[in-house]
Structure 1
Amino acid sequence: MGGSHSAYSVHRVPLDSRAVHIYTDGSCFRNPGGSSGCAAIVQYPEHLSREDEQIVDFGCSESSNNRMELLACICALRWIRLNSPWPDVSRVQIITDSRYVKDNIIRAQSWRKNDWRNLYGEPVENSDLWRSFLSAFKNASMTVHFEWTPGKKTPILREIDKAAKTAAKRGGTDIDRGFKSGTVARSLFPGAATRFVATGQTAVIRPYRHRPIKKSEWKVRFNVFSEESGKYIASCYALVSPELATGLHRQHGYRVRFNNDPNYPQIVELVEEVSIPNRMTP
């Protein structure tokens, strides 16, 4: 990037006592699609003799945790542009505990060059916010470094966590216009869905969430059912055309055929609807 900005990175390093520190966090109840919010609190270096202040307080009726974590950083960058510089402050450190931000911030430029697709050609989720992030970073008007910290181990980290949850609980005041809710039910497995290993096979699935990523592609999350064991064995995702997506109803069972690309799994055919249990079996 031009100007005095560093390359994109997220570090876990000691904080600079002469820098302005901005703590960010996001929250979503019933993630994704539930009441959501994000917050940011700025701490000034001691030589400025200024009190901490909350600079972001955003609450909406529906979004996702990842979007709120990222939006908090975007809002912080925009605030920097409007409020900097400060005497004897050479940089700003934005502190996040989001692994989503940590893992993807360095990839954003490559996604943009690849028409918002990842290394394997899959469309990138939340590309609207990543566009905004790149623009806000470029125009922040001074050097900004992102720092990653795990957990809520200090008073300020607990404070920003509370502020984000308060905004999410309030919800409704603001609107996340880029959020596409799709249809949502609960997975039978905890944790995030993993990429389905597509090798041209057919499989029985129970969709629990699908939403548009691009006009021509939807992302479907589903539980995989093993007919051999009579049990659900995984939570996965694949891409699908809008036409096929409309036929994959939540909590129904389907035998589907996949393409032959484990790095870019796609459902290419809905073979038939099948009867499957709607809960985990012992």
Structure 2
Amino acid sequence: MITVSTDGSCLRNPGGAIGWAWANHDGTHASGGVASGTNQIAELMAVLEAITAHPGDEPLRIEADSQYAIKCASEWVRGWKRKGWRTASGGPVQNLALVQAIDRAIAERPGPVTFSWVRGHQGDRFNERADELAGIAAREARDGRVGPANAVTEVIPVVAVAAPARVLAEDTLF
């Protein structure tokens, strides 16, 4: 099983720079950011990027400290789809494009995707690493130094998620 921790960061909610990150428990990770968004968008971006970066048959478990992101991706989505992408009260689903992209990514992935909640800022080293990377990406986005996706650092070789902004050496993980 592949286990990945995700996190998002928003420097001023709403409307501030955001960053997202995932940290695979094998040591690989990626992050990125944009100049404006919300904390919920950042959390959903982290989940989406983690899923798309881990294709294949092997089961994928995503650990997140965002119950919102977990419930959007694994619980609420079923009801929203049945109701024509409307909430229980009949209103529009917030962050619909991201929720639908996550739903598609899970459906298209041959292996299963599961989610587990972890308490944030409580010493879980992978959650703390994802939090750190998301914060760095948000600050870099605020300062105009990062695009939508940084590089993925793998043990060997280095693989880019998109155009790499920078590569973090493996020895900087923990």
Which residue of structure 2 aligns with residue 34 of structure 1?
A: 16
**Runs of 5+ consecutive residues of structure 2 not aligned to the other structure:** 149-174
- The yes-or-no answer on 1:174 pairing with 2:143 is no
* Structure 2 residue identity aligned to 1:69: E
- The yes-or-no answer on 1:60 pairing with 2:23 is no
SS at match of 2:54: helix
Match of 1:72 among 46, 65, 69: 46
Number of matched pairs: 144
Q: Which deviations, in whole Å up to 9, do the C-alpha atoms of 1:135-155 show, x marking residues without a partner?
A: 001112212111111122222
Q: How far apart are the structure 2 equivalents of 1:38 and 1:30?
A: 14
Q: How far apart are the structure 1 equivalents of 2:91 and 2:5?
A: 31
Match of 2:113 among 137, 144, 153: 144
Q: 1:1-282 counterparts in 2 under 5 A? A: 19-44=1-26, 52-54=27-29, 56-81=30-55, 84-85=56-57, 90-105=58-73, 106-152=75-121, 153-171=123-141, 172=144, 173-174=146-147
| Larger relative contact order (CA 8 Å, sep ≥ 6) | 2
Q: How far apart are the structure 2 equivalents of 1:131 and 1:102?
A: 14
1:157 deviation in Å?
1.8
* 8 Å contact from structure 1 (residues 22, 76) kept in 2: yes
Relative to structure 1, is the Cα distance of residues 92 and 103 closer, same or farther in structure 2, using a 3 angstrom cutoff? closer
Which residue of structure 1 aligns with residue 161 of structure 2?
A: none
Q: Which deviations, in whole Å up to 9, do the C-alpha atoms of 1:158-185 show, x marking residues without a partner?
A: 111101100011114335xxxxxxxxxx
Q: How far apart are the structure 1 equivalents of 2:17 and 2:117?
A: 25
- Which structure has more helix as a fraction of its residues? 2
* 8 Å contact from structure 1 (residues 109, 134) kept in 2: no
1:79 deviation in Å?
1.1
Q: Which deviations, in whole Å up to 9, do the C-alpha atoms of 1:198-244 show, x marking residues without a partner?
A: xxxxxxxxxxxxxxxxxxxxxxxxxxxxxxxxxxxxxxxxxxxxxxx
Relative to structure 1, is the Cα distance of residues 103 and 92 closer, same or farther in structure 2, using a 3 angstrom cutoff? closer
Identity over the aligned pairs, expressed in percent?
A: 28
- Which structure has more strand as a fraction of its residues? 1
